[in-house]
Structure 1
Amino acid sequence: MTPRRPEVGDRFRRFRDQASGGASGGRRGGRGGEELAVPRAEFRSYYGRPILKPPVWTWEIAAYLFTGGLAAGSSLLAAGGQVTGRPALRRVGRVAALAAVTASAGLLVKDLGRPERFHHMLRVAKPTSPMSVGTWILGAYGPAAGLAAIAEAVPLLPERGPLGLARRVLPPVGRAAGLAAAATAPALGTYTAVLLADTAVPSWHEAYPHLPFVFAGSALASGAGVGLLAVPPAQAGPARRLAVAGAGLELFGAHRLETRLGLVGEPYRTGRPGRLLRAGRALTVAGLVGALVGGRSRVLSAVSGAALLAASVATRFGVFHAGVASARDPKYTVLPQRERLARRAGEAATER
């Protein structure tokens, strides 16, 4: 009698039993509690190499994730100051936005290796490529943020002479540029989430519904942090409201990263990424509480602003390192694939 050939479901169940049984060092753990005769399954690839090539990005890209969000949040902060008639808040937001987007361009060029490569990226517009779209967003945002910040130098210009004309022209140009930068800011603050999710890195790719919430909230919170840190409390009302919105979005998104992704959410909870993200949550809560109860305390407002900025740094670096960790460990690639194969086999068997 010819033995029955094992089906896909049988092979997956055997693999699952081996993996679950090894968790207790070879003790009970198979179906029905039977003793397993095999050691715990180890997730390895040929020659000990990862199945996926880990991202070659260095710390510059993790820092770029932060500075891009900071620029976006600062422009929204400046627009709030402009609309509500708070000149100190507007000025701080515009200057911070220009400094952050300049740092972003520098970090991106450093990662690319040669400055002309950034120019070459502007020679092509490819809507299906997050990198191409992001380059154009940065190219549109940068000049607007720069003009808005330059307009803040008007009080330093003489009223007469050749610069007198600039003194009259720059304020309306700055107002228009500030609003244009604020309109582009949401795309600048979140396109990097799409960029990460568009890769094959498991913990980034599977987090595509949640990363935009994390990045948007982090951008808003960092912009609020600039306002709370550098603006007198009497003019920091919009910054406090921005802190509430940003902290809420960031905490919501971070919670979903850890609880809605199954196995590939593990890197967000463990190791170096887990420590960074826990620190980010703690700093976000501390900054939020300080923003709400600080009132007119200059010291408490500054401390809460610094906490929100530090939280944004920790969150962006935590997300970055979680993706790298998931690409290096084969189990985050193998097990989800096997589960999908088993599920499809079961669905196909049910349809027969």
Structure 2
Amino acid sequence: MSTSEYDSLRPPEPPRRRRRGGGGGRRRRPFGTGDGNREMLMVPDVEPTSYYGRPVVKPAPWGEDVAAYLFLGGLAGGSGLLGAGAQLSNRPKLRRNARLGALAAVAVGGAALVRDLGRPERFYNMLRTFKVTSPMSVGSWILSAFSAGIGVAAASEIDRMTGEKLPLGKLRPVLRAVEGPAGFEAAAFATPLAAYTAVLLADTATPTWNAMHKDLPFVFVSSASLAAGGLGMVTTPVEEAGPARRMALLGVAGDVTAMRLMEQRMDPVAAEPLHHGKAGTMLKWSERLAVAGGVGTLVGGRWRPAAVASGLALMAASALTRFGVFEAGLHSAKDPRYTIEPQKRRLAERRAAGITDDSITTV
């Protein structure tokens, strides 16, 4: 009989029963039910879950300002690209409206981003270094480069609109000379500006965003085309808005297709927040407005009232896509189920494929 100080902590054992016939043979007991000389199973086997149902990952500390920046950054990038196309095809009104729209979007979006950071100098601090492995660092430089180019191009447009009344003096010929190259420089950074925010979201541990990492950039670029094409249709006469209509139609096809393919390729549990609650409502209406705006553009895009209505629908669809994806990610971080169940499924798939010698399957 043991005299360990931990005897009082051992669970009570069932009473022993004498074997009939007085045999002195020793009966073998199952493992885990011994008399203290063997290891006993103290804790029953349970399914892994989070600590007291608390979230496994911390939700991103971003508010509605960041969601607004996601939309405005895409609108600015798409408009910058549309402005370069209008410059090449000699459409001055579309070029002017696209450049001014891009400048307004990047200015308001940048202000929203700085407001979310809390202090303006934090954005400046991000420009002190360039870290290629950080989407936020790369994105800060993309935003700055795009803003510089579109700012110069839009300043020249504003000077022409005011009858050359801006106090530029001898700088006016210089501004006219660099206007074209500045517009093309902004166009070079337009697509990265529209797409890098998708990489920024997918690079986090937020379950739904991380599950989108392969397809979200395509969704965001298509969404940017929706917004920029819609803005061009709203602000430009139909005679010059042909490129805006074509961009909008390409954006509708890309947005609806990329969104559907992304949902199919995602883990079904991680994709659930895209269909429920506030995010589900926004994404449903985004698809409806995109389809309605696309049909309106195709059928009545050359009629001014229909073009304006379709353009507004497309811009609303783009905004709802960005806000819906943003909201779905925040929701997925709050429920531990969206983190644990996809991890367990991936682990089972790796083991079924015979991968048993890495750090994931041998934990």
TM-score of the pair, normalised by structure 1: 0.84
Instruction: Identify the residue that residue 82 of structure 1 maps to in structure 2.
Output: 87
Unaligned runs of 5+ in 2: 1-28, 33-38, 40-44, 358-363
One-letter amino acid matched to 1:147: V
| Of 37, 40, 49, the match for 2:54 | 49
Residue 93 in 1 paired to residue 94 in 2?
no
Cα gap change, 1:89 to 1:342, in 2 (>3 Å) = same
Instruction: Identify the residue that residue 214 of structure 1 maps to in structure 2.
Output: 219
Give the superposition deviation at 1:158: 6.3
Instruction: Identify the residue that residue 261 of structure 2 maps to in structure 1.
Output: 256
Q: Is the 8 A contact 1:63 1:107 kept in 2?
A: yes
Give the superposition deviation at 1:173: 1.4
Q: Spell out the pairing of 1:1-352 with structure 2 (5 A cutoff).
A: 2=30, 45-156=50-161, 163=168, 165-261=170-266, 262-348=268-354
Cα gap change, 1:189 to 1:156, in 2 (>3 Å) = closer
Name the SS for the 1:263 alignment partner: coil
The share of aligned pairs that are identical, in percent, is 50
Cα offsets for 1:70-114 (capped at 9, x unmatched): 000111111111111111100000000000111121011101100
Cα offsets for 1:160-203 (capped at 9, x unmatched): 99846444332331111111111110000000000011001111
One-letter amino acid matched to 2:138: V
Number of equivalences: 317
Give the superposition deviation at 1:44: 5.7
Aligned-partner Cα distance in 1 for 2:164–2:129? 44
One-letter amino acid matched to 2:207: P
Aligned-partner Cα distance in 2 for 1:293–1:152? 32
Cα gap change, 1:120 to 1:307, in 2 (>3 Å) = same
Give the superposition deviation at 1:45: 2.8
Q: Is the 8 A contact 1:258 1:269 kept in 2?
A: no
One-letter amino acid matched to 1:264: A
One-letter amino acid matched to 2:204: T
Aligned-partner Cα distance in 1 for 2:30–2:198? 54
One-letter amino acid matched to 1:195: L
Larger proportion of helix:
1
Instruction: Identify the residue that residue 14 of structure 2 maps to in structure 1.
Output: none
Cα gap change, 1:343 to 1:311, in 2 (>3 Å) = same
One-letter amino acid matched to 1:230: T
Q: Is the 8 A contact 1:220 1:243 kept in 2?
A: yes
Aligned-partner Cα distance in 1 for 2:69–2:355? 48
Cα gap change, 1:330 to 1:299, in 2 (>3 Å) = same
Aligned-partner Cα distance in 2 for 1:212–1:111? 23
Aligned-partner Cα distance in 1 for 2:84–2:201? 28
Cα gap change, 1:141 to 1:346, in 2 (>3 Å) = same
Cα gap change, 1:271 to 1:44, in 2 (>3 Å) = farther
One-letter amino acid matched to 2:142: I
Moved more, 252-261 or 302-311: 252-261
Give the superposition deviation at 1:2: 3.9
Give the superposition deviation at 1:341: 2.5
Give the superposition deviation at 1:281: 0.6
Aligned-partner Cα distance in 1 for 2:313–2:165? 44
Cα gap change, 1:88 to 1:156, in 2 (>3 Å) = closer
Name the SS for the 1:235 alignment partner: coil
Q: Is the 8 A contact 2:76 2:106 kept in 1?
A: yes
Aligned-partner Cα distance in 1 for 2:114–2:166? 39
Moved more, 163-172 or 238-247: 163-172
Aligned-partner Cα distance in 1 for 2:339–2:71? 28
Q: Is the 8 A contact 1:232 1:298 kept in 2?
A: yes
Give the superposition deviation at 1:347: 3.8
TM-score of the pair, normalised by structure 2: 0.82
One-letter amino acid matched to 1:213: F
Name the SS for the 1:233 alignment partner: coil
Instruction: Identify the residue that residue 33 of structure 1 maps to in structure 2.
Output: none
Q: Is the 8 A contact 2:49 2:340 kept in 1?
A: no
Give the superposition deviation at 1:287: 1.1
Moved more, 165-174 or 307-316: 165-174
Unaligned runs of 5+ in 1: 6-10, 16-42
One-letter amino acid matched to 2:305: V
